[in-house]
Amino acid sequence: MIKFPPQAPPAFHLLAKPTGAICNLDCKYCFFLSKEMLYPGSRFHMADELLETYIRQLLEAHGRVPEVIIAWQGGEPTLMGLDFFKRAVELAEKYKKPGQQIIHTMQTNGTKLDDAWCAFFKKHNFLIGLSVDGPRDIHDTYRVNKGGAGSFDQVMRGWEYLRQHGVDFNILCTVHAANQDQPLEVYRFFRDELGAQYIQFIPIVERATAQFLPLANVGWSERPGGERPLYVQSGSLVTERSVDGAQYGRFLCAIFDEWVRRDVGQVFVQLFDTALGAHVGQYSLCIFAPTCGNALALEHNGDLYSCDHYVEPDYLLGNIQQTHMIELVASDKQRQFGRDKQETLPRYCRECEVRFACNGGCPRNRFIHTPDGEDGLNYLCAGYKLFFNHTHRPMQMMADLLRQGRYADEIMQMEIGD
């Protein structure tokens, strides 16, 4: 029995990276690739002993709630091989408490998937997050392999295996300079061609200082001459691949307008669900919650970081081989990390009409000035304002339906107005 520190949250989300940042693709906007530099000389391979420690601690740390999510991400986690995940499932069965339900998830680029992988996913009810940026021409702009060729065909082969085996999947679509102007083309591709029911639209915001911007614009992978920056959250410039703040909002609004008239209850867009949740006082996504600190990242060697987006030295909490993860999650450093999200909010946000839904967004993107010159406004603010204002009325209508015990999809028969 572990002792729960007083500040320990009952549940938290942990993304484990068994291969660290190692990936078989070389997506141009993927600054995670540069994180390889944090561990020079490493094999980037989570050892069996650590795997067991990780699963045991994660299940112990969730001993007060009925459900625990075991989430794998990378780099590319399938590079560990299927046996690693078979072992992970075995260990989860070994350590789970009576009545504890385990949800297995994995984020993958899909290129390594085959019958064996997908039969395994189906057998153990894995929820797969598949990274696709849109139809071929859009997807292949940045999601390329080590030789620079587009990965679309390989990803579609992986999707086909998932579909044949009936594996539940989410589409993880990043929004960036190459698809920000084609919202409906992207959305309809996922809905109509891929049959996606769950979609996430993740903005690409790659910060850089003036000094690093030229290098960052080239991409984050290893390159001859060793001129390669380690991505850290600093600088107030962004790469040319990054999404435009206001355009991100317009992208979401265009998709929302189509969704709210025909797809509610059929297609689940994470951001729309999150916004609807905010209208009934529930926050399911850390980015829009008042505080954060309960979404951490575990590296291949047991190092635990404050957040997947802060895998950098200043945000290392410790190593789970030396300190139980619940102590690190409950540590003053991590709790303060979570409170900082609220405590550093500029006045412009505190007085904003959509703060209840936005809460200033993720701190990692708070690097521009407010109109009155205060630091710490979110780079995506213009887009968030646009989206949360544009969707306010229909969201209120759906929230009212839910409060009356009715279904949100009834909105599709109602007059929404402009």
Among 58, 358, 395, 411, binds ligand SF4 (CB under 6 A): 358
Among 54, 142, 220, 348, binds ligand SF4 (CB under 6 A): 348
Site string for ligand SF4, 377-416 (x = CB under 6 A): -x--x--xx-------------------------------
Among 362, 395, 398, 408, binds ligand SF4 (CB under 6 A): 362
- The residues facing 305 across adjacent strands are 297, 316
- Residue 405, token pair as written in the block: 């015990």
What are the strands, taking DSSP E only, across 109-223?
127-131, 168-175, 198-203, 207-208
CB 264 within 8 A of CB 411: yes
CB of 69 to ligand SF4, least distance (A): 15
Q: What is the dihedral of CA 390, 391, 393, 397, to 10 degrees?
A: 170
Residues 6+ apart with CB under 8 A from 249: 380, 382, 383, 384, 385, 386, 387, 390
- Residue 286, token pair as written in the block: 């850390």
Q: Does residue 138 bind ligand SF4 (CB under 6 A)?
A: no
Closest CA to 126 of 79, 77, 173, 175: 77
Q: Does residue 354 bind ligand SF4 (CB under 6 A)?
A: yes
- Residue 293, token pair as written in the block: 């600190």
Residues 307-336 that bind ligand SF4 (CB under 6 A): 307, 309
The residue type at 223: R
CB-wise, 88 or 287, nearer to ligand SF4?
287
Among 360, 379, 390, 411, binds ligand SF4 (CB under 6 A): 360
CB-wise, 151 or 391, nearer to ligand SF4?
391
Residues 16-45 that bind ligand SF4 (CB under 6 A): none
Residues 276-305 that bind ligand SF4 (CB under 6 A): 286-287, 292, 295
- The residues facing 70 across adjacent strands are 104
Q: For the sheet containing 198-203, what is the strand order?
A: 268-269, 198-203, 168-175, 127-131, 101-108, 67-72, 13-16, 295-298, 303-305, 316-319
* Pairwise CA distance, residues 409 & 415, whole Å: 13
308 is catalytic: yes
* Pairwise CA distance, residues 114 & 121, whole Å: 11
- Which is it for the CA torsion 173, 25, 204, 244, positive or negative? negative
CB-wise, 309 or 390, nearer to ligand SF4?
309
Residues 240-269 that bind ligand SF4 (CB under 6 A): none
* Pairwise CA distance, residues 127 & 135, whole Å: 22
Applying CB under 6 A, what is the total number of residues that bind ligand SF4? 22
Catalytic residue among 26, 263, 303, 308: 308
Q: Does residue 341 bind ligand SF4 (CB under 6 A)?
A: yes
CB-wise, 17 or 341, nearer to ligand SF4?
341
CB-wise, 167 or 292, nearer to ligand SF4?
292
Stretch that binds ligand SF4, among 78-86, 123-131, 145-153, 360-368 (CB under 6 A): 360-368
CB of 169 to ligand SF4, least distance (A): 22
Residues 6+ apart with CB under 8 A from 334: 293, 296, 306, 317, 328
Q: Does residue 203 bind ligand SF4 (CB under 6 A)?
A: no
Catalytic residues: 308
Residue ranges binding ligand SF4 (CB under 6 A): 286-287, 292, 295, 307, 309, 341, 348-349, 352, 354-355, 358, 360-364, 378, 381, 384-385
